[in-house]
Amino acid sequence: MKRYVIRRLLMAIPLLLVISFVCFCFISLIPSNPAEVALRIQQTPIITEEAIAKMEELLGLNKPFLVRYVDWVLGCLHGDFGISYVNPARTVAGELVRCLPATLQLAGASFIIVVVLSIPIGFLCAIHKDGWFDKIMRGIIFISTAMPAYWVGLLLMWGIGVKLGWLPTNGNGTWRHLIMPAFTVALSYISTYIRLIRNNMLENMKQDYVLYANVRGLPQKSILIKHILKNSMHTCIVAMGMSIPQLISGTIVVENVFSWPGLGTLCISSIFNRDYPVIQTYVLLIGVLFVVFNLLFDILQTVSDPRLRKES
Amino acid sequence: MKKRLFAALLGSVMLLGALSACGQSAASGSSADPAAGSGNASVRDELNFVNFRDIRDLNPHLYAGEMYAQSILYDTLVRVSDSEDATDGVIPCLAESWEITEEGKVYLFHIRQGVTFTDGAACDAHAIKANFDAILENKNRHTWLEMMNVLESVEAVDEYTLEIRLTSAYYPMLIELGGTRPFAIISPNCMIDGSTMNGVNGHIGTGPYVLTDFVTDEYAVFERNDSYWGEAPAVKKITVKVIPDNQTRIMALESGEIDLIYGKDMLDAEALTSYMESDKFTVELSAPISTRQLLMNTTDEVLGDVAVRKALQHATNKQAISDGIFSGLETPADFLYSSSIPYCDVGLVPYDYDMEEAAAILDEAGWTPGAGGIREKGGVKLSFGLLYCSDRVTEKNIAEYLQQEFRSLGIEMDIHGEEEQSYRDNMKSGNFDMVFNIAWGTPQDPQSSMAAMRAPVYGDFAAQQGLDDKGEIDQAITDILVSTDETGRQELYSFVLTRLHEDAVYIPLTYECNKALHINTLDGVEFDANCYRIPLERMFFN
């Protein structure tokens, strides 16, 4: 087991290096001169060759490509991701630290909504298979999966924020600000997990252990909750774990619609402003999150499932 | 079992509550909803405004901050104005009066007495001199202003007299001094070792408002400066929320969370027109501030022919563009600069939309229909490209419309979009046949944008290279800038504008304007002579 964990950890290192190199390459491949971009987004009205040369020196762009990459990776390892082009007084690390709590708050709230709604609904759909509740929920799932988050967000804002005046349409600060964006982010995940839990439960209901439990005369409630639901949750927990980085990266559009000051808003404004160091670090951060959560849940699954442990 | 399920649900709800509480404390140490609590008094004195991005760095000597914020925090020596009281396009501000001597080479400013910065420091000639020293330390950054090239010295003659000496006369000097950036005056206490080029340690000015609170990317709060030297603004507190999305801004206005949306790109034409008849909101449109235009490269084999350029002028239906793409909010443009811009009402005859006339010009010039219906002359097809910025949807729409229109005349136009930086790079290096362009806007038009035609700043320089009279035009622009005689200056402007019009280098499309949408109870929503300034200090609730 220890060997497996060490091996997986070691395998993650080249993967992270590849991610960092790809991030760096993509940004470097952009045809425009980043020094000129930096000057333009600082609204320098006329950009002279001297100003470009000065900015190139300031940003270290006059060094060879590989030297810049190594400098950047070494900087990243020390928590130094460079400075923002938009506001040179701010560091990229500082910007990420500033925006991360709001995104974690939104992703966390969405995750809770997903868990609280999808497990009971998925459970009820499974035990009332093809009943009216199951049919209605399947219809809702079908519609909500097809609706883009941007549109759902605007509809909620118009209905609940403008017409009913129950909740603020934008910004953050109180729990009331959190409800609409969190629900918008959660909606597509709720649909996914309801389907997953329902199907897993239906699969488990056909298993021999359920038949055996029925033969033993165990109460139905106990069979459904202690055995079927518990066994169905194995794959769901891994999938939910893996959806945490997805939730963090998936808040981009919703944050922008609801003016939620998190990483997504930072990323969108950085894309519009061509703030390359921020975009580069954001992509790297999301890549690292996926690798780390993948690793973590693979290890957790191996620890919890003796069959996998034996294989590894 | 039920108890357990209930406990799990309760736990989740509590965790949700805890998460929002965490966010609340992390967001700011100040009030959670800065806009809350305003609006119930009989006459409101708190305005909730909106901007698409954060205030950023408000150092007035650099260019990375929001100008609406800088213009209410800081003052300049003079203020650009189109009022009747204005002299040479400006009215007094920190300078109470001024004298221009030695044939326009020396400016003696008499500084308003008793003005203090909001940190208590005196705003006298020495403080203003310290600001000019800091600006000039970073001179290269400001050379887009022609005055930087003729500025010789700035001296504080005494406590309330400032002398600016130029190497040669420069008539737009006062207008350029009235620009918020870089000539707004900051408290010397905010400078770092007398310098501002590497940042400042505060945002203290003499303006009508003081920045009292802000949370990056969320909001900024400005409160009335009670020691302001001028007329006290009616609005005590302005909260500016950051809402990046167009639709969300409108929803926030509808729900009463904000009172005003203001700016040329803050509202799309479709949304604005839907509020024209509203009884809850008012739409305001400014006079033209800049011209949306097409710039033709005269060094191109096809567009180098003035007959082709004139035919294209006649083949462009500006009214259709105005109505179809801008819902009439941007009026059709006849000239490079609107006649409401100083010196630009020179009695030119516009090129009317007339496809028959356009065809006749091309026929006469020898461009006759060839294979595939495309006109040819001497084996050269009447074909060229139009470059647009792919980040701007309207440019693509106009390009597609014109492509179809020109095609009916036997003209082949390939259109292609590039992202903004690449579009600018191509423009600057002259790598285009025809390109979308926008004039600088008031108060930089016409003098500063014309001055920039003499160097590879935007596409104008490259596009005009094929003109036989380019040398004459450039010389006339240089003469305009140093002219001291009003009549002579107008004659020179008339010459340049007439030549550019006759050379048909620019196809003016529409005049861009500033837009505002606000609740009916808000009054005094006006447009400043400086199109980048928002006169928030003049607004009030009725």
- Interface confidence (ipTM) of the complex: 0.82
Question: Of the candidates B53, B251, B422, which has its C-beta nearest A161's C-beta?
Answer: B251
Q: Do A171 and B33 touch (CB under 8 A)?
A: yes
Dihedral sign from CA coordinates of A275, A259, B23, A295: negative
Give the helix/strand (H/E) hosting B173: helix B173-177
β-strand pairing of B95-101 with B368-369: unpaired
pLDDT at B35 > cutoff 70: no
Residue A146 tokens, joined? 């097809």
CA B389 – CA B374 distance, rounded (Å): 26
Chain B residue numbers touching A256 (CB-CB < 8 A): 244-245
pLDDT tier, B20 (very low <50, low <70, confident <90, very high otherwise):
very low
Report which residue type is found at A218.
L
A113-150 CB burial, b ≥16 within 10 A, e <16: bbbbbbbebbbbbbbeeeeeebeebbeebeeeeeeebe
What's the pLDDT score for residue B191? 97
pLDDT tier, B399 (very low <50, low <70, confident <90, very high otherwise):
very high
Report which residue type is found at B296.
M
Q: Which of A112, A184, A259 is nearest to B20 (CA)?
A: A112
CA A287 – CA A128 distance, rounded (Å): 40
- Tell whether A258 lies on the interface with B, counting CB pairs under 8 A: yes
Phi first, then psi, for residue B500 (nearest 5°) are -65, -35
Residue B10 tokens, joined? 């309760």
Going by C-beta distance under 8 Å and a sequence separation of 6 or more, which residues neighbour residue A13? none
Compute the nearest-CA separation of B438 from chain A (Å): 14
B199-230 CB burial, b ≥16 within 10 A, e <16: ebebbbbbbbbbbeebbbbbbbbbbbbeebbe
CA-to-CA dists, residue B492 to B48, B274, B463, B485, angstroms: 46, 44, 21, 11
Query: Cβ-count burial of B3 within 10 angstroms (0-12 exposed, 13-18 middle, 19+ buried)?
Result: exposed
Q: Do A42 and B241 touch (CB under 8 A)?
A: no
- Tell whether A261 lies on the interface with B, counting CB pairs under 8 A: yes
CA B260 – CA B254 distance, rounded (Å): 10
What's the pLDDT score for residue B413? 97
Chain B residue numbers touching A259 (CB-CB < 8 A): 218, 241-245, 248
- Tell whether A185 lies on the interface with B, counting CB pairs under 8 A: no
pLDDT tens digits for B451-490? 889 987 788 999 999 999 999 999 999 999 988 888 999 9
Q: Do A175 and B244 touch (CB under 8 A)?
A: no
pLDDT tier, B21 (very low <50, low <70, confident <90, very high otherwise):
very low
Pick the residue of B61, B141, B219, B461 with the most A CBs within 10 A to test the interface with A by mutation. Answer: B141
Q: What is the pLDDT along chain A (312 residues), one digit of tens a residue?
A: 788 888 888 888 899 999 999 988 888 887 777 888 788 776 666 677 788 888 888 888 888 889 989 999 999 999 888 888 777 778 999 999 999 999 999 999 999 999 999 999 999 999 899 999 999 999 999 998 888 888 999 999 999 999 999 999 999 888 999 999 999 999 989 998 999 999 999 998 888 888 898 898 888 888 888 888 888 887 787 888 888 888 888 888 899 999 999 999 999 888 877 788 899 999 999 999 999 988 888 888 777 766 666 655
Chain A residue numbers touching B255 (CB-CB < 8 A): 161-162, 165, 168-169
Going by C-beta distance under 8 Å and a sequence separation of 6 or more, which residues neighbour residue B75? B93, B94, B123, B184, B185, B205, B206, B207
pLDDT at B101 > cutoff 60: yes
- Tell whether B15 lies on the interface with A, counting CB pairs under 8 A: yes
Q: Do B64 and A36 touch (CB under 8 A)?
A: no
pLDDT at B30 > cutoff 60: no
pLDDT at B31 > cutoff 70: no
What's the pLDDT score for residue B6? 47
What's the pLDDT score for residue B36? 46
β-strand pairing of B383-389 with B412-418: parallel
pLDDT tens digits for B231-241? 999 999 999 99
Chain A residue numbers touching B139 (CB-CB < 8 A): none
Q: Do B247 and A154 touch (CB under 8 A)?
A: yes
pLDDT at B146 > cutoff 90: no
What's the pLDDT score for residue A308? 67
Q: Do B32 and A174 touch (CB under 8 A)?
A: yes
> pTM of the predicted model, to two decimals?
0.85
Q: Which residue of B has its CA nearest to A34?
A: B421
Chain B residue numbers touching A263 (CB-CB < 8 A): none
pLDDT tens digits for B413-435? 999 988 777 788 888 888 999 99
CA B97 – CA B77 distance, rounded (Å): 10
Query: Cβ-count burial of A218 within 10 angstroms (0-12 exposed, 13-18 middle, 19+ buried)?
Result: middle
Q: How many CB atoms lie within 10 A of CB B276?
A: 12
Place of tokens 């499309």: B509
pLDDT at B504 > cutoff 90: yes
CA-to-CA dists, residue B410 to A311, B295, B493, angstroms: 73, 20, 36
Q: Do B19 and A36 touch (CB under 8 A)?
A: no
pLDDT at B292 > cutoff 60: yes
Question: Of the candidates A50, A86, A173, which has its C-beta nearest B27's C-beta?
Answer: A173
pLDDT tens digits for B223-280? 999 999 999 999 999 999 999 888 999 999 999 999 999 998 888 888 899 999 999 9
Does the bond joining A261 to the residue before it have cis omega, within 30 degrees of 0?
no
- What's the whole-number mean pLDDT along residues B364-370? 94
Phi first, then psi, for residue B304 (nearest 5°) are -70, -15
| Mean pLDDT of the residues in chain B | 90
